Amino acid sequence: MKYFLRKIGFFLLTLWAVVTLNFLIPRLQPGDPAELMVQKLAGKNAQLNLAQVRAMRAMLGTPHGSLWSQYWEYLGHLAHGDFGLSYTYFPYKVTDVIGQGLWWTLVLVACTQILSFVVGVILGAYAAWRRNSRFDSIVTLGSTFVGTLQPFWIALLLLYVFAYSLGWFPTSGGYSSSTPGWNLAFIDEAVSHAFLPAVALMIVTPIGWILGMRNTMIMNLGEDYIRLAKAKGLPDRTVALRYAARNALLPSVTGFALALGGLLGGAILVETAFDYPGLGRLMGEAVANKDYPLLQTLMLLTTTGVLIANLIADLLYGVLDPRARRAER
């Protein structure tokens, strides 16, 4: 029980720190969202309409009071689930805006991440088991190289080849003319729009899992319990899966939870490149527009997401690894 309590205590403390950081980071920086928005609207080759800037400032409402009182107000609002109004989509609520992007990202990113984790772990485990085989070298060398490609660059390449040159896939967006919902036309569009971004994300993400799994597995293969399992005359499959892979999986599981944090980061570039209507693109937009409320909430969302994923992974770790349940830390 202690183990779980500790985890939860840590979770709450970190959550508080993250919330505070999310509050501070945007606020400590200079910049005027109103001016920026008017400028964007007009384009750079236009004179700033001062009246419009003033109106915009009045509209967005500038923060007032000391930082301290703002902080309490912010915490109070958070406690009520009030995240404010987005500047970019004013007067829509930040939560509405995020609600729109969330599904797209969840579907795209979650699918690719889970898929690549599974694929990566399987490939890595198999490569370790067949260590030094041709399969192993192809997988390690190949995945190292592919893993170093920048997702953004892959996106460009894919766009060029499959969207522009071959025209097999659309170049941007999440769907086009169909009505979102459970209808065939929409699903068809959504899938074909998601295909290239998914591939761009899929190409690079499994690599970490492959190499990580391979390394831990190789290390585990040297353990005595593997030798004993072999001495017991158990079939290879049992030894590989139940003894080696089962043990090697543990660090990967926590690694996976932590990686969920980097996820939105990777998605920013890819979603932007494909103009995909997910949270990554929203995040990019929020930064570009100095949309503090949106940015703040997105960061809060992702950090809490990671924290929760982490907590789950930790608890899961406790289930998967009986040793952790007893250990103090």
Partner 1 sequence: MTTSGFTPPGAPDQAKNIEVDPEGTAKEASAERPEAWYSVIWSSKKARVGVITVGIFILIAVFAPLIAPHDPTDSSFAPLMGPSGTNWLGTTTNGQDVASQLIFGTRVSLIVGLFGGLLATGIALIIGMISGYAEGTWLDDVLTFVTNVALVIPVLPLIITLVAYSSTRGVTLIIFVIAITSWAGAARAKRAQIITLRNRDFVTAAKFSGEGTLRIVFREIMPNMTSLVAASFVGAATGAIGAEAGLAVLGLGDNNQVSWGTMLYQSNAQGAIAQGLFIWVFAPGLLLAILITAMCFVNFGVDLLSNPHLRED
Partner 2 sequence: MPLLDMQNLSVRYEPKRSQPLTAVQDVSFSIRDGEFVGLIGESGSGKTTLGMALLRLLERPGRISDGKILFNGTDITHLAQDELRPTRWRDVSTVFQSSMNSLNPVTRVEAQFRDVIEYHTKLRGEAVTRRVRELFEMVIIDPKFVNAYPHELSGGMKQRVNLAMALAIEPRFVLLDEPTTGLDVVVQHEILENVRRLQREQGFAVLFISHDIGTVLSLSDRMLVMYAGRIVEEQRADSILRDPVHPYSKGLLGSYGDPRAETVQITYVPGRPPDLSQRPVGCNFAPRCPERIDRCVTDDPPLFRIGSARAACHVAALQRLGGHGAEEVGEPTRTFAGPQFVKTSEESKAALRGEVLLSVENVSKVFERRRGLKVHRVQAVQDVSFELRRGEVAALVGQSGSGKSTLASMITGVDTPTAGRIVFHGDGGAQEVAAFRGRHLRDYRSHVQMVFQDPYSSLNPAKTLGYVLSRPLANYHGIKGKAARERVLELLETVALNPPERYINRFAYELSGGQRQRVVIARALAVQPELIVADEPVSSLDVSIRAEILELLNKLVHDSNVGILYITHDLLSARMLSDEVIVLNHGRVVESGPSLEVIRNPKDAYTRRLLEAIPSPDTRSAPTK
Partner 3 sequence: AKDTSSGGGSGGGGMIPQLNLPAEVDASVGSLVNYNPYSAKPATQTWLYEPLMMQNSLDCKVAPWLATSYSWESADKLVFTIRKGVKFADGSAFSAKDVAFTFNLAKKYPAMDLAGVWNDTFGAHATSVTAQGDKVVFQFSGPAAPKFPWIIGQKILSAKHYGNVGDPTKYIDKKPNGTGPFKVGSFNGRQLVLVRRSDYWQASKVKVSKLVLEGQPDATQALLQLRTGKLDFYSGEIPNPRKAFVASNPKINHVWYAPNGVTALAPNLKKAPFNDVKFREAMAYAINKQDATLKATYNMMHVASQSGLVMPLRESMLPTPYTAENTVLPFDLTKAGQLLDEAGYKKGAGGLRTNKDGSPLTIKFAVQAGWIDYEAMADSITASFKKLGLNVKEIKSPPDSVDLQKKTGNFDMMVNFVGSGCDYANGLGATLASDQFPTKSEVKGNVERFSDPAVNQAVKTLQSSTDPAAVKTQVGVLAKAMMTQYPVMPILYAPARGIYRTDKAVGWPTEKDPYANPQDAILLIMTHLRPAK
CB 141 within 8 A of CB 210: no
Site string for partner 1, 266-305 (x = CB under 8 A): x-xx--x----------xx--xx------x--xx--xx--
Nearer to partner 3, 148 or 177 (CB): 177
Q: How far apart are CA 309 and CA 306, in angstroms?
A: 5
Site string for partner 2, 121-160 (x = CB under 8 A): ----------------------------------------
Comparing C-alpha atoms, which of 276, 260, 259 is closest to residue 268? 276
Quick check: 142 binds partner 3 (CB under 8 A)? no
Going by C-beta distance under 8 Å and a sequence separation of 6 or more, which residues neighbour residue 169?
Answer: 162, 163, 192, 193, 195, 196
Q: How far is the CB of 190 from partner 1 (least distance, A)?
A: 25
Q: How far apart are CA 83 and CA 285, in angstroms?
A: 17
By CB under 8 A, the count of residues binding partner 3 is 53
Q: How far apart are CA 286 and CA 19, in angstroms?
A: 18
Identify what 70 binds: partner 3, partner 2, partner 1, none; CB under 5 to 8 Å per kind: none
Quick check: 150 binds partner 1 (CB under 8 A)? yes
Q: How far apart are CA 143 and CA 207, in angstroms?
A: 5
Tokens of 158: 């894919």
In DSSP terms, 93 is beta-bridged to: 85
Site string for partner 3, 176-215 (x = CB under 8 A): xxxxx-----------------------------------
In DSSP terms, 85 is beta-bridged to: 93
Stretch that binds partner 2, among 20-28, 136-144, 170-178, 217-225 (CB under 8 A): 217-225
Quick check: 106 binds partner 1 (CB under 8 A)? no
Q: How far apart are CA 246 and CA 120, in angstroms?
A: 15
Nearer to partner 2, 4 or 16 (CB): 4
Identify what 235 binds: partner 3, partner 2, partner 1, none; CB under 5 to 8 Å per kind: partner 2
Q: How far apart are CA 23 and CA 15, in angstroms?
A: 12
**What does the chain come to in residues?**
329
- Which residues make up the interface to partner 3 (CB under 8 A)? 30-32, 35-37, 43-56, 58-60, 87-92, 96-97, 100-101, 104, 159, 163-164, 171-180, 275, 277-278, 281-282, 285
